[in-house]
Amino acid sequence: MVTEVGRASSRSACILLQPNQSLSLSGNLWVFISLVAVSLGISLAFALAGAWMILPFAGLELLLLGALFAYVYTESTKREVIRINGERVVLDCCRGHRQQSVYHREFVRDSLDVLVRMGGSATEPASVSFSGPEGCLEVGGFLTDAERAELIRKLGQCGICARKEKGYQVQEF
């Protein structure tokens, strides 16, 4: 999702990027607990019938399932904040339940290039990158193509123009 948190003027804004999260932490826990209950119920029934070797494999399955649930939840809580002011464009990324900082990058606004790699469709962007003397960084890797197009539109409203590239040819918007 692309959300404009605040706009002080036509050249400054704060844009929040976050993936769509269909299930909260408590919802994820309920799904995980119900899968644990079903798996343990079936494995205990087999163990009582004499197939006790199923218990270690059921435990391994639940351990792997728990690790995957934790990974998916952590990735779905990723947030990127783009702060645009008169001179700088600041990109902060954080993830996890406590929103631990992953990276902080500042770009000089005048030397910032927003590169858009186009996908299979002529109107849908496949990736958006900030590039400048400070380095190159992909922004909103978790966004859908329509959300990337919305991000480009919001950046354009702040006076930051993007250029689109198809293959190795660069075309201006």
Q: Give the percent of the chain with pLDDT over 90.
A: 24
Strands (E), the chain: 2-9, 12-17, 79-84, 88-95, 100-108, 113-118, 125-132, 135-139, 162-166, 169-172
> What is the length of the chain?
173
Is a pLDDT exceeding 70 seen at residue 124? Answer: no
Phi, psi of 97 (to 5 degrees): -60, -35
Instruction: Give a three-class secondary structure readout of 53-98.
Output: CHHHHHHHHHHHHHHHHHHHHHHHCCEEEEEECCCEEEEEEEECCC
Give the integer Cα–Cα distance in Å for 116 and 69: 32
In which band, very low, low, confident or very high, does the pLDDT at 63 lie, cut at 50, 70 and 90? very high
Q: Is this prediction's pTM over 0.75?
A: no
Residue type, 51: A
The answer to whether 65 and 32 have CB atoms below 8 angstroms apart is yes
Q: Which residues pair with 4 in a beta bridge?
A: 15
In which band, very low, low, confident or very high, does the pLDDT at 149 lie, cut at 50, 70 and 90? confident
The answer to whether 112 and 131 have CB atoms below 8 angstroms apart is yes
Q: What is the pLDDT of residue 166?
A: 62
| pLDDT tens readout for residues 64-89 | 999 999 888 888 888 888 998 888 88
Average pLDDT over residues 131-157: 85
Residue 150 CA to its chain's centroid (Å)? 15
